[in-house]
Amino acid sequence: MNRVVVGLQWGDEGKGKVVTYLSRYHDFVVRFSGGANAGHTVNYGDFKMVHHLMPSADFSRNVGVAIGSGVLLDPDVFSQEHRELFDKFPGYSGKILISENAHVVLDLHKRFDEMVDQLLRIGTTKRGIGPATADRAMRVSVRLADIDDPEKMKTLLEKNLSLKKMYGLSAELNEIVRRLEGFYQSFREHIVPVLQLKRILEEKSLLFEGTQGVLLDVDVGTYPYVTSTSCSSAGVSAGMGFPVKVDEVVGVFKAYTTRVGEGPFPTELKGKEGELLRETGREYGATTGRPRRCGWLDLPLLKYAIEVAGVDVLVMTKADVLVGFEKVKVCVKYKGEGELLSLKGLERKEPVYETFDGWKSLEDERFARFVSFIEKETGKKIKYVSTGEKVGDMLEV
C-alpha cells in the first residue's frame, strides 16, 4: 500500500514528524521533489534531526529511504545528513537509494539564488533550488549519472558557466568536477539507474514524503510566491519519472497557519496575537531560522488544498500549541465571496472569522468540537492528531 503525505499550507505543517511516525507501516520513505530547501524536524526524544534531503524515515526501525529523479540533490547537505544518520543510528541497516537521474545543486546555484532574490524578493531559502530547476530546464545541469561520464559532465558545466557569465557569476570548473567526483565515489553503491529503482520500489510498500506545501506548489500555489517544484500529490509520478500508484493521500495541516517568505496570507496576524503564536509554537524556519509569519487557520485555503491534492485523510498538527488560548479563530470564508476556486486576487481577500472557545487540553470537549467542525467543513476525516513534538506523540482518532 502506497501513501503520499502532502502539506496543505505553506510548508512547516509538521510533515517530517508525521512521515517518520507513519513510516513504521512502510518499507521505504521516498522523496520525489524539492531539495534542501525543505526542513523536516524530527524529534526522537533524546535528540532531534532536521532532514533537508534525507527522507524522514524512522531510522530506529530500519525503514529504507529513496530519492527520486525529481529531487535536487545538494551533495554537501546529503553527505552531512548521511554522516549524522550513522552517528545517531550506527546500526542502521535500511537501504539508501538515489536515482542516478537526480540533478545536483552546486554552490553556484546558491550564490545565484542569493543574487536573484535581492531583485525578485520571493524570500527563498537560498538553497539554490530555483536556479538548479532553471538549469535543468535549460539543459545545462548535471545529473548524478553524468558525473560518471567526465567528458559529458565537463561539456555541461562549460555551457552552464558560459550562461552564468551573462549574469556576472563565475566558478572554477575543475573545482566543481573534483567535488562532484568525490561525492560520486563516496555514494556510488547507493546511486542506481532509474529502472533498477523502479523495480526495487515496485515490490515494496512506499511512503512518499512531500516537501513544502500545496500553496507553495509551482502549478497550483500562490505563484510567483512559490517554490520552483511540485509539492502536491500530482508530482509523485513526475518526480519519480515513472507511474506510481498512490492508494492514499494524507494531507497534513497545522491548527493555525504559518508562512516564511513573501506572498499573500489573508489570515496573517501582524501584532501581538501573531507574536504569541510564533513564540508559543516556536515558529522559526528549520532551514533559515527566519521568524515565520503566523495567523489563524484559513478554511477556504485548506479546502482548496484538500481538493486540488485529492486528499483522502487529514492529520492535524500543533493543536497542542493552542492549549491555554482563551479563544481560537478560524477563517470560514472571505467577505462577499462564495467558494474559493482559484487563488486569483488572494492578496485582496478579507477573512470572516468564527470564534471558538479555547481548550485546556486535547482531551477537552472544546477541542473535540473544533475537530468535528473542521471535519464537517472539509468533508474529510482527521485520522491523526499530533499531540506534541516527539515522533510518538500521535493520537489515532
Residues forming the site for Mg ion (CB under 5 A): 12, 39, 286
Whole-number minimum distance, CB 351 to ligand IMP, in Å?
Answer: 21
Within 230-311, residue ranges assigned H as helices are 235-240, 272-280, 299-308
Other C-beta atoms lying within 10 Å of the C-beta of residue 355: 11
Smaller CB separation from ligand IMP, 39 or 68? 39
d(CA 227, CA 188): 29
Distance CA 44, CA 391 (A): 6
Q: Cis before residue 75, ω within 30 degrees of 0? A: no
Alpha-helical segments (H) within 46-120: 75-88, 107-120
CA 298, 303, 305, 306 torsion-angle sign: positive
Report the alpha-carbon distance of residue 29 to residue 31 in Å, rounded.
Answer: 7
Residue nearest to ligand IMP (CB): 261
Residue 64 binds which entry of Mg ion, ligand IMP, none, CB below 5-8 Å type-dependent: none
> Minimum distance between the CB of residue 172 and ligand IMP, rounded to whole angstroms?
25
What is the tally of helices (H) and strands (E) in the chain?
Answer: 12, 18
Distance CA(169)–CA(167), nearest Å, equals: 6
Residue 129 interacting entry, from ligand IMP, Mg ion, none, C-beta within 5 to 8 Å by type: ligand IMP
Of 3 and 40, the one with the shorter C-beta distance to Mg ion is 40
Verify whether residue 40 is a known catalytic residue. Answer: yes
For Mg ion, the closer CB: 14 or 266? 14
- Active-site entry in 12, 27, 298, 312: 12
The Cα 166–Cα 171 span in angstroms is 13
The residue to which cell 515490490 is assigned: 203
Residue 261 binding: pick among Mg ion, ligand IMP, none (C-beta 5-8 Å cut-off by kind): ligand IMP
Q: Shortest approach of Mg ion to residue 12 CB, angstroms?
A: 4
Burial class of residue 378 in the structure, from the number of CB atoms within 10 Å of its CB (0-12 exposed, 13-18 middle, 19+ buried): buried
Q: Which of 26, 40, 52, 103 is catalytic?
A: 40
Query: Closest distance between ligand IMP and the C-beta of residue 264, in Å?
Result: 11
For residue 222, the minimal CB distance to ligand IMP (Å) is 9
**Which residues touch 275 (CB under 8 Å, ≥6 apart)?**
294
Q: Which is nearer to ligand IMP, 231 or 316 (CB)?
A: 231
Residue 137 region by backbone torsions, left for phi larger than 0, else alpha for psi between -120 and 50, else beta: alpha
Distances in whole angstroms, Cα of residue 384 to Cα of each of 17, 251, 387: 12, 10, 9
CB of 123 or CB of 358, closer to ligand IMP = 123
Does 74 participate in catalysis according to the annotation? no
Q: How far is the CB of 358 from ligand IMP (least distance, A)?
A: 26
When CB distances are held under 5 to 8 angstroms depending on the partner's kind, the choice from Mg ion, ligand IMP, none that residue 122 binds is ligand IMP
Q: Which is nearer to ligand IMP, 67 or 145 (CB)?
A: 67
Q: What are the cell numbers at 340?
A: 474559493
Q: Which does 240 bind (CB under 5 to 8 A by kind): ligand IMP, Mg ion, none?
A: none
Determine the Cα angle at 12 with ends 304 and 231, to 5°: 55
Contact positions vs ligand IMP (CB under 6 A)? 10-12, 37-39, 122-125, 127, 129-130, 211-212, 216, 225, 227-228, 260-261
Active-site annotation, residues: 12, 40
